[in-house]
Amino acid sequence: QYASTCNYAVWLRPQDGWLGKGVAASGAVATRLGLSGVPVAAETVALLTIIELVRTTGARVHLCRLSSAAGVALLRAAKAEGLPITADVSINSLHLTDVDIGFFNPAMRLTPPLRQGSDRDALRAALADGTIDALVSDHTPVEGDAKQLPFGEAEPGATGLELLLSLALKWGADSGLALPAALARVTSDPVRVLGDALGSLASSAGKLVVG
């Protein structure tokens, strides 16, 4: 309510703390590897709560790093209702799936966890049609020692900033988008999501500043 009164946007990552305690997305891969699972419900339960709060308070909310097809469906319905909600997706969820965990590769221990191919396809389509507003690097560097551990004990995270542009362009080409449309998801669209949060930077947006 406070955020709504002050016209602030609230940034939230939709994951239920209780359901999200696992280390890999629930599914055949996690079952085969014996890894504790994070069900899609960990995202959708949190999303349903957030959407109802937006509906009640009118506060603007930005959803960080959607990871599932079910989450995309809820977002699309909320936007169709006219609720002030925006969302982003990480390059990891856009290009990788749980199959990439391979044989307990700790580099693939990420938050949110990598999900199935159908989830990745839904995320790609939603980013292309504008249901998801922005593509992010989810740049979360992890010390080498924290990754050289069994999968379940490895710290989640990966570098992504250096890959953002090339993977955004690859997604755009794969999706048949024109270059300006693909670039918009990592440039002008995130600016639109930020809105007033840019503050004094807004006056120089889109300009080359010397100094």
Tell whether the torsion through CA atoms of 65, 70, 73 and 75 is positive or negative: negative
Query: Which structure tokens are listed for 46?
Result: 């949190």
Compute the distance between CA of residue 34 and CA of residue 40 in angstroms, rounded to an integer: 18
- Residue 195's contacts (CB-CB under 8 Å, 6 or more residues apart) are 9
Longest dimension (CA), the chain: 56
**Cross-strand partners of 89:** 135
Contact between residue 146 and residue 159 where contact means Cβ atoms under 8 Å apart: no
SS3 content of the chain, % helix, strand, coil (to 5): 50, 10, 40
Nearest Cα residue to 27 out of 64, 73, 69, 65: 69
Q: Is 138 a catalytic residue?
A: yes
The catalytic position among 119, 138, 189, 196 is 138
Residues acting as catalytic residues: 138
